[in-house]
Amino acid sequence: MKLQPYATMGQKVWFYTFLTIAGGGLLFLVLPILVIIPLSFNSSSFLSYPLDGFSFRWYEEVFHSEIWVRAIKNSLIIGSASAFLATVLGTLAAMGLTQANFRGKGAVNALLVSPMIVPIVISALGLYFFFAEIGLNATYTGLILAHTALGAPFVVITVTATLQGFDNSMMRAAASLGANPVTVFFSVVLPLILPGVVSGALFAFATSFDEVVVVLFSAGPEQRTLPRQMFDGIKENITPAIMAAATLLIMFALALLSVLEYLRRRSEKLNSPS
């Protein structure tokens, strides 16, 4: 995107108008997120500018409150357990999907990604009724199973995409040299597709970490998660403590984004002929 030196007046006007529009859009995307960070350091309880002073009191409130701490713990437990299950199941399925063609593959694929498409209220309601029948409402097991189902499609998609560039003859080479399938997987396939698997796992973790509707329906007071806690806070009385929690979640998103970017660049470097 560059303005040619011979551009006419009209072209110049158009060029800067375009930049303003696109730049405005980008600001619209990122500003609302950045604006709330300073509010979490406000010394008074007002959620507006200018700030009354700088303080960590809202972070102290979050970290000293038993409810918030438990919510963070719950989110981490449910998130990592469901991400682990989703990654194992999703990676296996992605390997199967890329290894052979069979009749009904399209339908199988559609079922595997369906948790991503079905509106969340419908999933949550269906799971709520189902868990009521088998006694899994208000249990960690129930939430972990539900979040595994919601996160698995992301693993399937990212790992399938990574496997698309995978050379199957490497597996055959390893097998012909006497490695059994398990060894082939762990010492040949996994190291090569690891970036895809890790991105998928992060996707699944983020899905669980951000999920609130299933939690609203199925969790008991014991299983309150961070998003659930935020939901109640926004609904009842929005305080800078919520902004502090939000800021922590933004930091988490930044960390996630950096890891994914690193993985993307790494695989780009590996794939491009040097």
Q: Which of residues 151-170 bind another protein (CB under 8 A)?
A: 152, 156
For 89, the token pair is 């199941």
Residue 127 near another protein by CB under 8 A: yes
Residue 44 near another protein by CB under 8 A: no
Smallest separation, CB 18 to another protein (Å): 6
Residue 217 near another protein by CB under 8 A: yes
Contacts of 4 (CB under 8 A, 6+ apart): 11
User: Are 156 and 94 within 8 A, CB to CB?
Assistant: yes
Residue 140 near another protein by CB under 8 A: no
Q: What gap in Å lies between CA 63 and CA 55, rounded to an integer?
A: 14
Smallest separation, CB 258 to another protein (Å): 10
Residue of 83, 112, 143, 159 interacting with another protein (CB under 8 A): 112
Residue 13 near another protein by CB under 8 A: no
Smallest separation, CB 22 to another protein (Å): 4
Instruction: Identify which range of 52-60, 76-84, 98-106, 189-197 contacts another protein by CB under 8 A.
Output: 98-106
Q: What gap in Å lies between CA 197 and CA 65, rounded to an integer?
A: 36
For 208, the token pair is 């669980």
Helix, strand or coil for residue 179? Answer: coil
Element (H, E) at 118: none
Smallest separation, CB 56 to another protein (Å): 19
How many positions of this chain bind another protein (CB under 8 A)?
Answer: 80
Residue 227 near another protein by CB under 8 A: yes
Q: Which of residues 171-210 bind another protein (CB under 8 A)?
A: 206, 209-210
Residue of 45, 114, 187, 237 interacting with another protein (CB under 8 A): 114
For 246, the token pair is 């939000």
- The answer to whether the bond into 50 is cis (omega within 30° of 0) is yes
Nearest CA to 190 out of 198, 179, 178, 201 is that of 198
